[in-house]
């Protein structure tokens, strides 16, 4: 068959190109532009090559925030994914309680992020906050504004409270889509709770769980608002994760070159890790 | 084993899902549950399996009461309309799973799974996962899993419904062979009368949670006990109309009249229900089709070598299914010829007036 070449077809694709150019490619290119130049006042630029990349990659400060970022992300993944699955398993599959549960679960997801941060900040204050007061009354020496360990505890607790619902809702969607016949077949085979979970529910939830892990990974790796309102990266630098550090460099110190280089490295790390996660979780699917 | 249902019933709240049912299914028999969707086939099967508890009645296996026994202790297997396999196990492991539960030795597992795979043409794909198989192969795997253990009761709930036409025919041909030489009770649910006829065995017609008739498939088809059983076991649906016997003639409104058959001579004059299968009425007269019935054409369907014509007869819609291509214009009047020797006559209570 002969293919007809129709150059006019490009016109139909053009709007998408323009849209993507304006919302992604052009902003990204400005960042690339800053990352390879030294910027002075009056918009004077000097070529600096890979200098900023070298500086960022060799700086201890970057290593520290990256390490904190990884610690944070893996902690919340290790808590939120199993907890989310567990909650989804206990939710009713049918009946009048289903909508009630779903609304309760969706609630934390509907609260603006900075409000979540402010809420938890007040909630956890050792003198007037409920959580802080109760912990101290119980004999714990708790003060998240002064002790790094407490700050981490509060930060992770806040994220678990805020985002476990997302994992719950995704897992629940995966669970209710399993036909009843699977459970009957398991019953006939004499399979019990754990075996049903391991051999039916978990494999059937695999796709939604992959999405849950990816979403939670990407989102938590970019966490800024809640953490910045709750601890502002403190005490000291103890909860300064990558994005907080980036804002400090870019807007606090106005080091546009290093900030741009760091943004690109940050972006590439997320891209790389997402790919690794996806490949690992989908490995068996394609073999 | 022999399965006996004595007064088994199931109600959920105010709703009756299964009316009290007595049924005896003999060892080594092939039994078909025939009925439309929601007629209670699946519920009845789940009661037989023990997946669901009856709200009344008892269930006996070889004379032993098993009503309260858990399903995993009963030695049943089930195949569903959906293709149910363990998603992350290979075909081999899937087929082997019931044997593993039964703690059968590894060498015997190998032998029996191999034999089953051979029988169901799965030998080449034992290492694959269910998601890498076609629908037909997935259902074969599920069947192998059900057949590999020597269960006393094998339930198949519309196993071919989700397969495409070709695969369905292929598997349907193989089915009777798979169950031959087995001592177990096979119960097969289907919505299709044609499928029931092709599979043979015994048939129970189900209508709104009630078993209306049970017996050898051919007999049930030829001699429906009542008008409901006849309706369940006819595809396209059997044509019905109220007729009147009067002065030694039978009249169907103003549409037609004919002489009553011998077995109707003795019944008193009055109104009766007529049942006539669609293939006993045709646009072509002859071969016993001597009663002319004319009516307005509502729908016509031509499918290859068969013609289906829907006409209005009194207040009813009748269907004629005949060989050859017979084109009619919708809205025109069609003259069809009915072979009333094959007609069923039902009394006021719906029961067949025996011939």
Residues 56-75 of B with CB under 8 A from A: 71-72
pLDDT at position B51 over 50: yes
Q: Using CB atoms, which residue from B78, B98, B101 is nearest to A184?
A: B78
Across the interface, whether the CB atoms of B88 and A203 are under 8 A apart is answered: yes
**Domain A65-251, CATH 3.40.640.10 — does that match?**
no
What residue ranges do the domains of chain B occupy?
3-232, 239-346
Q: Using CB atoms, which residue from B46, B51, B101 is nearest to A190?
A: B101
pLDDT at position B122 over 80: yes
Across the interface, whether the CB atoms of B72 and A182 are under 8 A apart is answered: no
CB-CB neighbors (< 8 A) of A204 in chain B:
87
Work out whether the CA dihedral A45, A46, A50, A54 comes out positive or negative.
Answer: negative
What Å distances lie between residue A192 and A183, A186, A287, B57, B86, CA to CA? 10, 8, 29, 28, 14
Q: What is the mean pLDDT of chain A?
A: 87
For every one of its 287 residues, what pLDDT tens digit does chain A have, with 9 covering 90 and above? 566 777 888 888 889 989 988 888 888 888 888 888 887 777 777 888 788 888 888 888 888 888 999 999 999 999 999 999 999 999 998 889 999 999 999 999 999 988 999 999 999 888 888 988 898 888 888 888 888 888 999 999 999 999 999 999 999 999 999 988 898 888 888 888 888 898 889 988 988 998 899 899 989 988 888 888 888 887 888 888 888 888 888 888 878 888 888 888 988 998 998 888 888 877 755 44
The residue ranges of DSSP E strands in B247-290, in sequence order, are 249-252, 256-258, 270-276, 281-282
Q: B90 near B109, Cβ under 8 Å?
A: no
- For an interface test with A, the pick among B43, B46, B86 (most A C-beta atoms closer than 10 Å) comes out as B86
- What pLDDT score does A94 carry? 85
Across the interface, whether the CB atoms of A200 and B97 are under 8 A apart is answered: no
Q: What's the CATH class of domain B239-346?
A: mainly beta
What Å distances lie between residue B300 and A71, B306, B316, B329, CA to CA? 72, 11, 16, 8
Q: Half-sphere exposure of B282 toward its Cβ, with a 13 Å CA cutoff? A: 15
- What pLDDT score does A1 carry? 55
pLDDT digits (tens, 9 = 90+) for B217-234: 999 999 898 889 998 998
What residue ranges do the domains of chain A occupy?
65-251
CA distance B10 to chain A (A): 18
Q: Using CB atoms, which residue from A179, A184, A189 is nearest to B101?
A: A189
A263 burial via Cβ count (<10 Å: 0-12, 13-18, 19+): buried
pLDDT digits (tens, 9 = 90+) for B76-115: 999 999 899 998 899 999 999 888 888 889 999 999 999 8
Tokens of B74: 């009963």
Q: B348 near B271, Cβ under 8 Å?
A: yes
B105 CB within 8 Å of a chain A CB: no
- Strand-pairing partners, residue B289, are B286
B13 CB within 8 Å of a chain A CB: no
- Length of chain A measured in residues: 287
- What pLDDT score does B248 carry? 83
Tokens of A156: 């992770």
Q: Using CB atoms, which residue from B84, B98, B129 is nearest to A181?
A: B84
CB-CB neighbors (< 8 A) of B78 in chain A:
184-185, 188
Query: Which chain A residue shows the shortest CA-CA distance from B151?
Result: A188
Residues 203-262 of A with CB under 8 A from B: 203-204
Across the interface, whether the CB atoms of A199 and B77 are under 8 A apart is answered: no
B87 CB within 8 Å of a chain A CB: yes
Q: What is the mean pLDDT of chain B?
A: 88
Across the interface, whether the CB atoms of A285 and B97 are under 8 A apart is answered: no
B80: nearest Cα among B178, B25, B179, B154: B154
CA distance B264 to chain A (A): 49
B245 or A160, which is more confident? A160
Q: Using CB atoms, which residue from B46, B81, B84 is nearest to A182?
A: B84
Across the interface, whether the CB atoms of A188 and B87 are under 8 A apart is answered: no
Q: Using CB atoms, which residue from A182, A188, A285 is nearest to B71?
A: A188
A285 CB within 8 Å of a chain B CB: yes
Q: Using CB atoms, which residue from B51, B81, B98 is nearest to A189?
A: B98
Tokens of B315: 């207040």
H helix runs in chain B, sequence order: 41-49, 91-101, 106-119, 135-148, 165-179, 193-199, 217-222, 227-232
pLDDT digits (tens, 9 = 90+) for B149-194: 888 899 999 998 888 888 888 888 888 888 877 888 999 999 999 9
Q: How far is the C-alpha of A37 from the C-alpha of A44, rounded, in Å?
A: 10
**Domain B3-232, CATH 3.40.50.620 — does that match?**
no
Across the interface, whether the CB atoms of A189 and B80 are under 8 A apart is answered: no
A190 or B50, which is more confident? B50
Tokens of B327: 């084109």
Query: Which chain A residue shows the shortest CA-CA distance from B50?
Result: A188
Q: Using CB atoms, which residue from A187, A189, A199 is nearest to B88?
A: A199
Q: Which residue has the tokens 């009915």?
A: B338
CB-CB neighbors (< 8 A) of A179 in chain B:
80, 82, 84
CA distance B47 to chain A (A): 12
Across the interface, whether the CB atoms of A188 and B72 are under 8 A apart is answered: yes
CA distance B178 to chain A (A): 20
- What pLDDT score does A170 carry? 94
ipTM confidence score: 0.76
CA distance A112 to chain B (A): 39
Q: Using CB atoms, which residue from B72, B82, B86 is nearest to A200?
A: B86
Q: Half-sphere exposure of B195 toward its Cβ, with a 13 Å CA cutoff? A: 23
């Amino acid at each position: 068959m002969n293919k007809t070449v129709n150059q006019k077809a490009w016109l139909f694709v053009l709007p998408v190109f323009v849209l993507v150019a304006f919302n992604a490619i052009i902003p990204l290119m400005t960042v690339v532009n800053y990352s390879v130049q030294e910027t002075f006042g009056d918009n004077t630029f000097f070529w600096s090559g890979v200098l900023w990349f070298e500086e960022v990659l060799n700086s201890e400060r970057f290593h520290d925030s990256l390490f904190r970022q990884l610690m944070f992300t893996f902690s919340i993944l290790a808590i939120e994914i199993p907890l989310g699955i567990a909650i989804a398993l206990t939710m009713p599959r049918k009946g009048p309680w289903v909508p009630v549960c779903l609304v309760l679960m969706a609630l934390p997801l509907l609260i603006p992020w900075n409000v979540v941060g402010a809420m938890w900040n007040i909630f956890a204050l050792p003198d007037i906050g409920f959580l802080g007061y109760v912990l101290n009354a119980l004999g714990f020496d708790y003060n998240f504004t002064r002790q790094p360990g407490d700050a981490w505890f509060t930060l992770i607790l806040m994220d678990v409270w805020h985002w476990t619902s997302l994992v719950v809702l995704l897992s629940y969607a995966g669970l209710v889509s399993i036909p009843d016949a699977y459970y009957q077949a398991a019953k006939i085979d004499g399979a019990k709770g754990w075996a049903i979970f391991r051999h039916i529910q978990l494999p059937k939830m695999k796709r939604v769980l992959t999405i849950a892990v990816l979403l939670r990974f990407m989102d938590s790796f970019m966490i800024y608002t809640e953490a910045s309102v709750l601890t502002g990266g403190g005490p000291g630098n103890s909860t300064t994760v990558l994005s907080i550090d980036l804002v400090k460099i870019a807007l606090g110190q106005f080091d546009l070159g290093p900030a741009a280089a760091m943004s690109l490295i940050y972006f590439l790390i997320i891209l790389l890790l997402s790919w690794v996660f996806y490949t690992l979780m989908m490995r068996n699917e394609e073999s | 084993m022999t399965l006996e249902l004595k007064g088994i019933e199931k109600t959920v709240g105010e709703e009756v899902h299964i009316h009290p049912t007595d049924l005896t299914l003999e060892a080594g028999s092939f039994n078909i549950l025939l009925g439309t969707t929601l007629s209670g086939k699946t519920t009845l099967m789940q009661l037989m399996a023990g997946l669901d508890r009856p709200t009344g009645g008892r269930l006996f296996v070889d004379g032993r009461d098993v009503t309260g026994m858990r399903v995993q202790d009963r030695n049943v297997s089930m195949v569903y309309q959906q293709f149910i396999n363990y998603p992350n196990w290979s075909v081999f492991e899937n087929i082997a799973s019931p044997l593993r539960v039964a703690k059968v030795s590894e060498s015997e597992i190998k032998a029996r799974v191999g034999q089953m795979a051979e029988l169901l043409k799965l030998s080449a794909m034992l290492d694959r996962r269910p998601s890498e198989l076609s629908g037909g192969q997935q259902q074969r795997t599920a069947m192998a899993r059900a057949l590999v253990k020597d269960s006393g009761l094998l339930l198949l709930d519309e196993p071919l419904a989700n397969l495409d036409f070709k695969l369905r025919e292929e598997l349907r041909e193989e089915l009777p062979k798979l169950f031959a030489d087995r001592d177990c009770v096979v119960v097969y649910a289907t919505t299709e009368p044609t499928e029931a006829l092709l599979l043979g065995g015994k048939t129970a017609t189900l209508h709104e949670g009630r078993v209306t008739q049970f017996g050898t498939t051919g007999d049930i088809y030829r001699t429906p006990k009542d008008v409901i059983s006849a309706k369940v076991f006819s595809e396209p649906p059997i044509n019905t109309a109220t007729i009147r016997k009067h002065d030694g003639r039978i009249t169907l409104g103003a549409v037609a009249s004919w002489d009553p058959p011998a077995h109707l001579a003795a019944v008193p004059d009055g109104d009766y229900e007529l049942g006539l299968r669609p293939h006993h009425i045709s646009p072509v007269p002859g071969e016993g089709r001597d009663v002319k019935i004319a009516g307005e054409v509502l729908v016509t369907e031509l499918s290859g070598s068969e013609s289906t014509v829907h006409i209005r007869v009194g207040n009813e819609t009748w269907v004629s299914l005949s060989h050859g291509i017979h084109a009619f214009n919708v809205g025109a009047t069609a003259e069809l010829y009915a072979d009333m020797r094959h007609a069923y006559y039902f009394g006021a209570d719906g029961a067949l007036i025996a011939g």
